[in-house]
Amino acid sequence: MEMTAQQDVRAKQAANAPKNPTAWIIAVSCFVLIGGALFLYSRVSWQQAMLYLLGALGGFVLYQAHFGFTSAWRKFILYRQGEGIRAQMIMMAVASALFLPLLLKGSAFGHPVSGYVFGVGVSVIVGAFLFGIGMQLGDGCASGTLYHIGGGDANGIVTLIGFIAGSVIATAHFDVWAQMPQWEPFSFIVQFGALGGFGCQLVLLGAVYYIVTVMEKRRHGKLMTMPLANRNGWKAMYKGPWPLLAGALLLALVNALVLLISGKPWGITSAFALWGAKAVQLFGIDPTAWTYWQDEAKRQALANPLYYDTTAVMDISLMFGALLAAALAGRYAKPVQWKRPTRMTIGALIGGLMMGYGARLAFGCNIGAYFGGIASFSAHGWAWFVFAFLGSLIGVKLRPYCAYKN
């Protein structure tokens, strides 16, 4: 009788237990994404609503493909495993092909279209170098920090706090860096024409792809690929994991659609400066006196509600897109680990500060400066890649002091 009673209790508990422990997270994510899109459509524009959904798609893809810029560089630096970097080069090549006709036409849907083309100078070099160190200490770049938060990584919250603080500090110092020497903006398609510029781009991308491949084969004798332990069958379409190549192609498409709809490539970090500026206003500080906010568009963004800022709404939807992906993948079947070593928390905060400061100096992060800059055929995107990678060489060496395991 005792065994029967225990079995009966267990049967009732099983019957009353939720069929899917992450179902409520999936429901909340969908509600926020659909409700947010409808809100933006009614209050701002259909373009803002579409960009909000594109941000969510970006977060979903980043999580399901585990498409990391930081981890890809770290694996190559430490182990000469270049699969992630090769995927990035393919992504850049596809994005360049998609960007090219839009940039040549110069308009879409009645608004101008232009890429991210900036000059290379001291600020870009220093900013990218600082960012490269910070992305390893923060265990994620800008997009990585956001999708890690959506994926249940509590450490990403600390990194984001540092990121916002660093962005605010950089905007306060922006006039100093703006006066530093720099070359004029250099666009491959402006200097060499459409075919010449695109050819030059492919040569550079192919060179990086080739160098990474040669160095990997020299170390391992073959190309090292991470096998996908996929037991989900066709459900992998929404449960993951996805191949890196699929992630690369989809992210290239997302960036091209952002360019088409908004008139500029995908960006991440300008929103952090905006969030930080609005936060310091609450303490009586007036950021509009700083050089960074003298630009009319930036001043207008600071005066408007956040939902008018494209980058801000895309950053928010990116986190919820990653949250949805993580829930579908079963990530939240286990509780989030909030406890972290103190050294890791300090490292994440310092890394975030360095990335926030560096991103403002270098006109963006891994998405805006590296991805968007290179896809826009700008030399500054390539300069960002070189100096951020050099910074990562140092950042990787510092990671063990922050309790990270390489």
209 inside domain: yes
CB 61, CB 254: distance < 8 Å: yes
171 inside domain: yes
**How many angstroms separate the Cα of 44 from the Cα of each of 39, 90, 141, 309, 310?**
8, 35, 29, 10, 10
265 inside domain: yes
326 inside domain: yes
216 inside domain: yes
Per the structure, the complete domain to which residue 67 belongs is given by: 21-106+114-222+237-402
When divided into structural domains, the chain yields a total of: 1
The residue ranges of DSSP E strands in 35-193, in sequence order, are: 107-108, 111-112
8 inside domain: no
Torsions phi, psi of 88, nearest 5? -65, -40
**How many angstroms separate the Cα of 178 from the Cα of each of 165, 288, 396?**
20, 17, 29
Please give the Cα distance from 54 to 373 (Å, whole number): 19
67 inside domain: yes
Its pTM stands at 0.91
130 inside domain: yes
Q: What is the pLDDT along the chain (406 residues), one digit of tens a residue?
A: 344 444 453 444 334 433 455 889 999 999 999 999 999 999 999 999 999 999 999 999 999 999 999 999 999 999 999 999 999 999 999 999 999 999 999 999 999 999 999 999 999 999 999 999 999 999 999 999 999 999 989 899 999 999 999 999 999 999 999 899 999 999 999 999 999 999 999 999 999 999 999 999 999 998 888 776 666 666 777 777 899 999 999 999 999 999 999 999 999 999 999 999 999 999 999 999 899 999 888 999 999 999 999 999 999 999 999 999 999 988 887 777 778 889 999 999 999 999 999 999 999 999 999 999 999 999 999 999 999 999 999 999 999 999 887 7
CB 61, CB 250: distance < 8 Å: yes
**DSSP string covering 255-293, please?**
HHHHHHHHSS----THHHHHHHHHHHHTTT--GGGSGGG
